[in-house]
Structures are given as structure tokens and as C-alpha cells.
Chains A and B, each alone.
Chain A
Amino acid sequence: MKRLMTCIECPQGCRLEVEADGTRLISVTGYKCKRGQAYARQETEAPSRTLTTSVLTRGLELKMLPVRTSKPIPREKLFAAMEAVKRIVVTSPVKAGSVIAPDFLGLGVDLVACRRLEKA
């Protein structure tokens, strides 16, 4: 089955024409870089997204700390991940890249800080 897809790897937003048999990729055209080709495969086999959100802090200079998953997670896990994020409170100073929750939800990715935050 052929389907049209828009690559979301970068702001160029290449239009991809993807031929797939269920979740098996057969061919892809229309990409301008390797990332587009890889995106078509990933999106066909198992769509995944990087989650970015904010978590509460206590005793730090900002009320919320922006965080992200270190790698994309399965798209259908986004809401479960948001639930888990709401239970986290960060109380120690962090740097960009500091791990907030290792092996987040057992998905093999870490939840990491996106900025430096010092004590208030």
C-alpha cells in the first residue's frame, strides 16, 4: 500500500511517498537526506516521538524544569509518560543533560534536564 507522509525530522518537511506492506517498508521516495529515509522506516514500523515537557521543582530558581526523553519513545506511550512525569519533583540543582529519571518507564531512555537550574 502506498501512502504520503510528511517527514518531521527537520523544518523542511519533505513529502515522502512510502510503499509498505503493513508495518514492513518496501520503498520510499521524496526525501532530501538520510534522516528522511530513516524516518519513513521508523514511522512505518513503529512511530516514535521525543517527549518534551516540564516538571515541578522545589527550592530551585525556577518553578518548572524543562525536560525531554533522551531518545524518541513509542508514540502510544506519550500519555503514560505524561502521567509519570506529573509525579516527579526535582529538588537538586541540575545542568543541561542531567538525568532526572533513568530508564524512564522501562523504555530504555532517560528523562533528562534541558537547562541549568541552581538553588533559589
Chain B
Amino acid sequence: MKERQLVIVGGGPAGMAAALAARGAGVSDVLLLERDQHLGGILNQCIHPGFGLHHFKEELTGPEYADRFAARVRGDAGIEVSLRSFAVRLTPDRRVSFLRPGALEEVKAGAVILATGCRERTREMIPIPGSRPAGVYPAGLAQKMVNMEGWIPGREAVVVGSGDIGLIMARRMALEGVKVKAVIEIQKTSRGLVRNVVQCLEDFGIPLYLGHKVARITGRDRVEGVDVVKVDERFAEVPGSAFSLACDTVLVSVGLIPENELLEMAGGEIDRRTNAPVAPEVNLTSVPGVFACGNACKVYDLADWVTRDSELAGRLAAEYLGVSPA
């Protein structure tokens, strides 16, 4: 079996920052696994600005932010990037198995950094009652469809949840000519950044219903509408407050869940509520020599902080390997 000094799973902002920092801290051999055909992870579909204000002191879009790290990663002879490579197994003694086109490979790693990011919470996890028609999408999936594939998911949309992805998608859909009827938020305040409420909703005259929830999705084959109802402090429905909105598309933006199946396979302890690794400090896991960084470790609201903390993960891995800068 091949031995590698450091294996990093995930080529998004976390994995790239960890790889570069590990190199800077003296790690000479890094294998970076990325399941997609490109480095950059979720940044590739986050085409809006708002990235890099802290790290680069200028405002960049997601792809621009990713591009700067990807260029450095590609230019570093000590980092082998393996694209279209999907890690399927991790053992407690740090053997990593991954699929790449035409092959299943296994490597023994001195240290492992899991930079696997998050999945989206779905309609079934809130849950929203009603029928099961086509036209209900997690907001991040819709973001990938619109920004990377050029598919517009519908003509009239309602966004459930006011997290940043939901707000940004409300604007994105409005710009693409979709009539965005409303953003529905069960809490009394928006979960997203205030600037996104201003520039994504107010700019486009999209109403934000705080303290409301979607009581039901209607429609047989395709979404035909949603029933919205006001809720009180205990999230109970307020009688007589219900109204309907006609739409053919519902985007669900109700949070993210760290993706930590590999850590689980290796016997690492995971918080059942948040799906994050149980550890005394950021980037650590309960498995020696296995680190987790970026959204796999905890859900971040800014990529800049992912970069900062993931660089620390790279240095922690170097320390574990007992190497120091050349």
C-alpha cells in the first residue's frame, strides 16, 4: 500500500488552505482529494461578491476567491491534486480508500484532514407538510443549477428560510426574471447577514415574512402554491392568519449539516445534534492524527474564517507529523 504523509479530503476553501499551510509548516508530501472536476468546492457556485474582505482586504466573488488558492495549490510541487476522487472509507489507523475514474485506491496516511464541508438540510428535516410535487429544491442545489448549469428552476418562487443562501438565491432568481413572491422565516429576525436582507430583498421589493411558517405545500405533479401562517412566540400557528401564495417553485434554505461519514467510519465521536466532531478545540477530532476543518468542523458564515481556521488545521497536522519548516 502506498504511504502518504498527509491526505486531505476535499478541495474547497478549507482543504486548499489546509494544504498550503501544511506545506508552509514543513509537510513535504500532500495528497489532496477532490470529488468534483475542479478545485474550489462550493465557492464555484457562490458567484456573488462578499468574499475576501478579511483575508485579501478586497471584495471578491466566490470563484475569484477560490481561483487565488487553486493557482497556489497547482503551483506547489509538494501537493498532488487528485480530481474526480471520492473518499469512501477511513480506518482508525488512517488508511484512506478513494474511487477515481477506473480505480479504487488505498493509501496509508501519516495524518488526515477532513475538509468535506456540509450538506443542506432538506424539506423533510423541518418538516413541511403537504403533497410531494416536483419543484421543491434545497436553495444551494438551485444555486448550482442557475449559476453553473444555466437552468432556471421555475417562474414563480417562494423561499423558505432566510439564511444567506436563501437570500442570495432570492436575488439571483429575481435577476434571472423569476417572480420571487416571498421569503418566509419562522424566527423573529433574519438568520442571514443584514447586508443580504438589504441588497437581496429590499433592492428587488421581495417581501420578508418574519415569524411566519409554511404550513403546507400544495400541488399534484408540480408545486402550485404554499399556505403561509403566522406563528406566536412558541411557534404555534396564530388562528385566522393563514394566506396562500401561488408559485411553481419552493426553495428551502434551512441550514447546513457537516458531512462527517468518514470520521464516523474511523470511530470518531460525532455530536448527534449538529453532526460536528466532538472535540475540545476547533479542527480536532477524537481520532489521533485525524483533523477536521472548514464546514465539516462547524458551520461558518464567512469563507475568510474557514481559511483562517483551516490554515491552523494544516499546521496542527504538521505538528502531529513532527515536521518543521525547511
Interface residues of chain A, those whose CB is within 8 Å of chain B, are 6-11, 13, 49-54, 56, 61-64, 66, 68, 75, 78-79, 82, 96, 114-116
A96: chain B residues at CB < 8 Å are 63-64, 67-68
Flag whether B206 is at the interface (Cβ < 8 A): no
- Cα A53 to Cα B148 in complex, Å, equals 10
Q: A13-B195, A115-B66 are in contact. Are A53 and B175 (CB under 8 A)?
A: yes
Q: A-facing mask of B174-193, CB < 8 A → 1, else 0?
A: 01110000000000000001
In angstroms, Cα B176 to Cα A64, docked, is 14
Q: How far is the CB of A34 from chain B (nearest CB, A)?
A: 13
Q: Which residue of A lies closest to B47 (CB)?
A: A66
List 15 A–B pairs whose Cβ atoms lie within 8 Å, in order of A's numbering. Answer: A6-B198, A8-B198, A11-B193, A13-B195, A13-B198, A49-B203, A53-B47, A53-B175, A54-B148, A63-B150, A64-B147, A68-B49, A68-B61, A78-B175, A114-B47
Cβ of B221 to closest chain A Cβ, rounded Å: 28
For the complex, is B265 an interface residue (Cβ under 8 Å from A)? Answer: no
| A114→B194 contact, CB < 8 A | no
A52 touches B61 (CB 8 A): yes
Asked if A116 and B302 make an inter-chain contact with CB atoms under 8 angstroms apart, the answer reads: no
Q: Which residue of B lies closest to A8 (CB)?
A: B195
Whether the pair B66, A66 counts as a contact (CB closer than 8 A) is: no
Given contacts A53-B47, A115-B67, contact A64 B150 (CB under 8 A): yes
Q: Which residues of A contact B131 (CB under 8 A)?
A: none
Q: Does B3 contact A (CB under 8 A)?
A: no
A104 to chain B minimum Cβ distance, whole angstroms, is: 15
User: Which one of A61, A62, A79, A96 has the highest number of Cβ atoms from chain B below 10 Å of its Cβ?
Assistant: A96
Closest B residue to A56 using CB positions = B150
CA separation between A61 and B83, bound complex, in Å? 14
Interface residues of B in 271-326 (CB under 8 A from A): 301-302
Q: Which listed residue, B61, B70, B175, B177, touches A114 by the CB 8 Å rule? A: B61
| Given known contacts A6-B195, A11-B193, A11-B302, A64 and B63 CB-to-CB distance under 8 angstroms | no
- Mask, B19-63, CB within 8 Å of A = 1, is 000000000000000000110100010011110010000010111
